[in-house]
Amino acid sequence: MTTALCPGSFDPPTNGHIDVIGRSVSIFDEVIVAVIANPSKSPMFTNDERVEMLEGLFAKEPKVRVASFDGLLVDFAQSQGVDVIVKGLRAVSDFDYELQMAQMNHHLAAVETVFIPTSAEFGYLSSSLVKDVGRLGGLVDGLVPPLVAQLLKERWST
Ligand code: PNS
């Protein structure tokens, strides 16, 4: 059985995240979606809210488990018996930093990282851009799942 770990801030989850997680599900036996509890940028949604959103989005996918972590990713990966870390790559601009992290994680714990190219239609998507667009009154439908779009609208209307 091969367990993959899809880590991220997920603040909020976008259709690009859903794409990469969904494609991981079709490759690996089990996928742990790991939400970093305290990302470096202060998040719009709390850790519990981000976990709940992802649990809702993957409620019908028995191969997916959502968890949160703090500290080193490799420590969490080892505690969960993870075989491989999965990262989505949107563009060459993602590659430099992702390569550095993959090499650091391999140095720290000999954990392998596999890159999945994000589907082209989501190549321009990021959680930060979604938040910018929505905050300024733009439509986020089609960029995030409906459940997330609804929560974003509620957040901006308060
Ligand atoms: O969605 P993001 O913000 O791009 O996710 C980044 C994340 C959470 C995957 C990355 O910041 C991370 O792995 N953080 C854990 C801390 C860690 O292990 N740092 C050393 C990795 S080289």
pLDDT digits (tens, 9 = 90+) for 36-48: 999 998 999 999 9
Q: Phi, psi at residue 55, to the nearest 5°?
A: -60, -40
Q: How far is the CA of 73 from the centre of ligand 1 (A)?
A: 7
- Label residue 158 by pLDDT band (50, 70, 90): confident
41 among known catalytic residues: yes
127 among known catalytic residues: yes
Ligand 1 lined by 127 (C-beta under 6 Å): no
> Residue 36 falls within a domain, yes or no?
yes
Per the listing, tokens 């202060």 go with: 42
- Name the residue at shortest CA distance from atom 2 of ligand 1: 8
What does the longest C-alpha to C-alpha distance in the chain come to? 46
Question: What's the confidence (pLDDT) of residue 104?
Answer: 98
pLDDT digits (tens, 9 = 90+) for 98-107: 999 999 999 9
Structural domain range at position 31 = 3-124
Mean pLDDT computed over every residue of the chain: 97
Q: How many angstroms separate the CA atoms of 152 and 155, rounded? A: 5
pLDDT digits (tens, 9 = 90+) for 43-87: 999 999 999 999 999 999 999 999 999 999 999 999 999 999 999
- Label residue 157 by pLDDT band (50, 70, 90): confident
CATH of residue 115's domain is: 3.40.50.620
Q: Percentage of the chain with pLDDT > 70? A: 100
**What is the model's pTM?**
0.97
> Residue 154 falls within a domain, yes or no?
no
**Rounded average pLDDT over 115-130:** 97
Other residues' Cβ atoms within 10 Å of the Cβ of residue 150: 11
Ligand 1 lined by 101 (C-beta under 6 Å): yes
Question: What's the confidence (pLDDT) of residue 41?
Answer: 87
> Residue 141 falls within a domain, yes or no?
no
> Residue 98 falls within a domain, yes or no?
yes
Mutate to test the pocket of ligand 1, among 5, 9, 86, 94 (most ligand atoms within 8 A of CB): 9
23 among known catalytic residues: no
> Residue 37 falls within a domain, yes or no?
yes
